[in-house]
C-alpha cells in the first residue's frame, strides 16, 4: 500500500488521536513506530506529514514545513485506520428476521444511519471501515454492507451465515445443530448449481461469507465446505478452543476473526490467536459494536499479544 493510497485511513486515525477535525489540519507526527502497511516492517522514528487533513509524506527524512507543528510521540504506534469486520452500528435489538432460517432479502445497506452515535464511537476508536452484518439467529441472515465509519457504503457485499446453536429454534426448523448443518449443505449444493442472488453468489465463491461458528466442529465443517465449493470465508470463531483440538486441522490460508476480548476473558480465548496463527491461519479482530465497546477489536489484539501473539501480527 503506497502512502497515497494509505492517506484517507491514516489521516482519520492520526487526527482523531489528537482530538482535532481532520479537514482543518496541517501537522506532523514523529512516532516510535510507524506502520505503513501490514506487509511492511514498521518504521522506527518515522514522520507522517499531514496537509489539509491528508497524508502528504511518510518516512524518516520528511521535511516539516515552517508553521506546521511537529508532535513527538516516541512511545506511540501510528497506524492506518482499523477495519472492524463485524459491527452493528446504529442497530439495537433488530438485527435479524427470524421467521425462517434463510433470509435472502435482508440487506443492511438499507439501514445505514451515519448520524447514530455508534459511528462517532467507531471513529473515536480509530476504526475507519466496518462490515455492518446481521446477527446470529439465522443460518443465512442476509447480506452485510462494507462501509466507512462516516456512513459511506462501498465495496463488495458480504453474506452473513451462522453455523451454531443460536441459529436453531424450537419454533421453526432447524431445531438442532445436525439439522442446521444438513440445511447448509443442501442449500450450498442447490445454489452452487443453479441459484440466483447473493446466496448463490456466496455458494459459487463470487462473494465473501462471514460465517459465525461456535467451536472446532464448526470450524472443521466450514473448512471442508470451503474446499468443496471454493467458498471465500471469513470465519468468526466464537468458541474457546484448546490447542489440542486443533491437532490435524489444516488452517493454511484460513481467515479467522476473533473477539471481542477484555480483562475478564479466559486464558483459552486470549491464547487462541497465537494457536491459530501457528496452524497457518490469518487473524483479524472484531468488536461487534454495539454489543461490545468500539475499542473491542484493538483490546482483543492487546490481550492476544499478552497471551503470546507477535505484536507485528496483531
- Predicted pLDDT at 13: 38
Over 60: is that where the pLDDT of 225 sits?
yes
Over 50: is that where the pLDDT of 249 sits?
yes
Residue 107 CB-density burial (10 A; 0-12 exposed, 13-18 middle, 19+ buried): middle
- Predicted pLDDT at 263: 81
- Predicted pLDDT at 113: 93
- Predicted pLDDT at 204: 96
How far apart (Å, rounded) are the C-alpha atoms in residues 47 and 38?
Answer: 18
Q: What is the pLDDT of residues 70-118, one digit of tens each?
A: 999 999 989 889 999 999 999 977 778 889 999 989 999 999 999 999 9
Residue 235 cell numbers, joined: 470465519
How far apart (Å, rounded) are the C-alpha atoms in residues 172 and 96?
Answer: 15
Compute the 3-state secondary structure of the chain and give helix, strand, coil in percent, each to the nearest 5: 30, 25, 45
Fill in the DSSP letter of residue 102: B
Fill in the DSSP letter of residue 107: B
How far apart (Å, rounded) are the C-alpha atoms in residues 14 and 7?
Answer: 10
- Predicted pLDDT at 6: 34
Over 90: is that where the pLDDT of 228 sits?
yes
- When mean pLDDT is compared across 9-18, 55-64, 249-258, the lowest value belongs to 9-18
Q: What is the pLDDT of residues 148-182, one digit of tens each?
A: 999 999 988 999 999 999 999 999 999 999 999 99
Mean of pLDDT values over 219-242: 94
- Predicted pLDDT at 291: 78
Cα angle value 206/211/217 (rounded, 5°): 125
Would you say 199 and 248 are in contact if contact means Cβ atoms under 8 Å apart? no
**Mean pLDDT score across all residues of the chain:** 88
- Predicted pLDDT at 239: 83
Mean of pLDDT values over 192-200: 92
Is it true that the peptide bond before 290 is cis, omega within 30 degrees of 0? yes
- Predicted pLDDT at 24: 55
- Which residue blocks in 210-294 are alpha helix, DSSP H? 216-229, 267-278
pTM of structure: 0.85
Band of pLDDT at residue 237, cut at 50, 70 and 90: very high
Q: What is the pLDDT of residues 254-312, one digit of tens each?
A: 999 999 988 888 898 999 999 999 999 999 999 988 878 899 999 999 999 999 999 87
How far apart (Å, rounded) are the C-alpha atoms in residues 164 and 121?
Answer: 29
Mean of pLDDT values over 220-227: 96
Residue labelled with grid coordinates 444438513: 182
- Predicted pLDDT at 153: 95
- Predicted pLDDT at 160: 97
Amino acid at each position: 500500500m503506497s502512502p497515497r493510497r494509505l492517506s484517507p485511513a491514516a489521516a482519520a486515525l492520526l487526527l482523531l488521536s489528537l482530538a482535532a477535525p481532520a479537514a482543518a489540519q496541517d501537522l506532523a507526527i514523529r512516532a516510535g513506530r510507524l506502520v505503513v502497511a501490514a506487509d511492511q516492517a514498521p518504521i522506527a522514528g518515522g514522520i507522517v506529514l499531514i496537509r489539509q487533513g491528508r497524508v502528504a509524506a511518510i518516512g524518516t527524512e520528511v521535511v516539516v514545513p515552517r508553521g506546521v507543528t511537529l508532535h513527538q510521540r516516541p512511545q506511540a504506534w501510528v497506524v492506518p485506520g482499523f477495519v472492524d469486520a463485524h459491527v452493528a452500528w446504529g442497530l439495537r435489538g433488530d438485527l435479524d428476521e427470524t421467521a425462517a432460517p434463510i433470509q435472502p432479502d435482508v440487506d443492511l445497506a438499507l439501514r445505514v444511519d451515519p448520524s447514530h452515535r455508534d459511528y462517532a464511537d467507531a471513529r473515536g476508536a480509530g476504526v475507519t471501515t466496518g462490515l455492518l452484518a446481521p446477527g446470529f439467529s439465522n443460518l443465512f441472515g442476509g447480506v452485510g454492507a462494507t462501509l466507512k465509519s462516516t456512513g459511506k457504503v462501498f465495496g463488495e457485499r458480504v453474506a452473513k451465515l451462522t453455523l451454531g446453536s443460536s441459529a436453531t429454534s424450537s419454533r421453526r426448523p432447524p431445531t438442532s445443530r445436525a439439522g442446521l448443518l444438513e440445511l447448509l449443505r443442501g442449500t450450498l449444493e442447490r445454489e452452487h448449481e443453479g441459484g440466483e442472488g447473493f446466496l448463490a453468489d456466496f455458494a459459487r465463491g463470487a462473494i465473501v461469507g462471514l460465517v459465525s461458528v461456535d467451536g472446532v466442529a464448526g470450524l472443521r465443517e466450514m473448512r471442508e465446505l470451503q474446499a468443496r465449493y471454493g467458498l471465500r470465508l471469513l470465519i468468526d470463531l466464537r468458541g474457546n478452543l484448546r490447542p489440542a483440538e486443533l491437532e490435524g486441522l489444516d488452517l493454511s490460508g484460513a481467515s479467522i476473526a476473533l473477539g471481542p476480548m477484555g480483562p475478564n476473558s479466559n486464558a483459552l480465548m486470549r491464547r487462541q490467536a497465537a494457536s491459530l496463527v501457528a496452524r497457518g491461519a490469518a487473524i483479524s479482530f472484531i468488536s461487534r459494536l454495539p454489543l461490545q465497546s468500539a475499542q473491542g477489536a484493538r483490546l482483543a489484539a492487546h490481550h492476544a499479544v499478552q497471551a503470546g501473539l507477535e505484536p507485528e501480527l496483531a
